[in-house]
Amino acid sequence: MTDASFRPLAVLFDLDGTLLDTFPAVTRAWNAAMEPILGRAFDPIEVAAHFGPPDEPMLLAAFPDSLSASEREAAIERYFAEYCLALAQIKPFEGIESLLDWLGARALPMGIVTGKGRRATDVTLAHFGWTDRFEWVVTGSEVALPKPDPEGVRRVARELHMEAANCVFIGDSPADIGAAQNAGMLSVVAGWHDFYLEELRHLSPDFWPQSPFELQRWFEAHLQ
């Protein structure tokens, strides 16, 4: 648990699995791209095993070597088309909109650090009306190394004119918590998404709220 005297000056969020449960949408999009090529559907755990690179490099790494350039491009376009359709079935986790409104009302700078590529991130933020919600967004398309490397979170802190030690990074995966710890930020697990539960247990995050409402109460206590 964090020191009671800690006062956060900026809040950074992961996107997938933290603000939104986009895993079903990504799985649908992956299968739209890959099933016509490989002749089978993938379950969510199989798809998650490819997470790390942004969308397009993730797909390119999984394509058979025999696939032509035009077939690769067609598969990538199927991925994005299905992802956009699937967004209609996705909602923010319960309490996230309230949390973002509360933080925004207190003029606390907010940023996003996501492994998602720029194209998918921009579509997602636009769909939920969040294009102007965050002061800075760094995607997997803009970093040399993915999380848990701290490049992305440090860049957002720098763009927000904040020291890393004064920032909170909230994410649902071991890579998120690792990035926060490697950057010297306060690490918070998005405990309302349990996909990586077992892997997270040994990482000793600073705080593990079970809902966005619990996280908001934590902010209320630390921003008095």
Q: How far is Cα 180 from Cα 154, in angstroms, rounded to an integer?
A: 9
Specify whether 14 is catalytic.
Answer: yes
Q: How far is Cα 135 from Cα 162, in angstroms, rounded to an integer?
A: 12
Q: How far is Cα 128 from Cα 174, in angstroms, rounded to an integer?
A: 26
Sequence-ordered alpha helix ranges (H) in the chain: 23-38, 44-48, 55-62, 69-86, 96-105, 118-127, 151-159, 174-183, 197-200, 212-222
With a CB cutoff of 8 Å and minimum separation 6, the contacts of 36 are 75, 78
Catalytic residue, candidates 14, 21, 55, 206? 14
Q: Which two tokens stand for residue 130?
A: 């969040």
Catalytic residues: 14
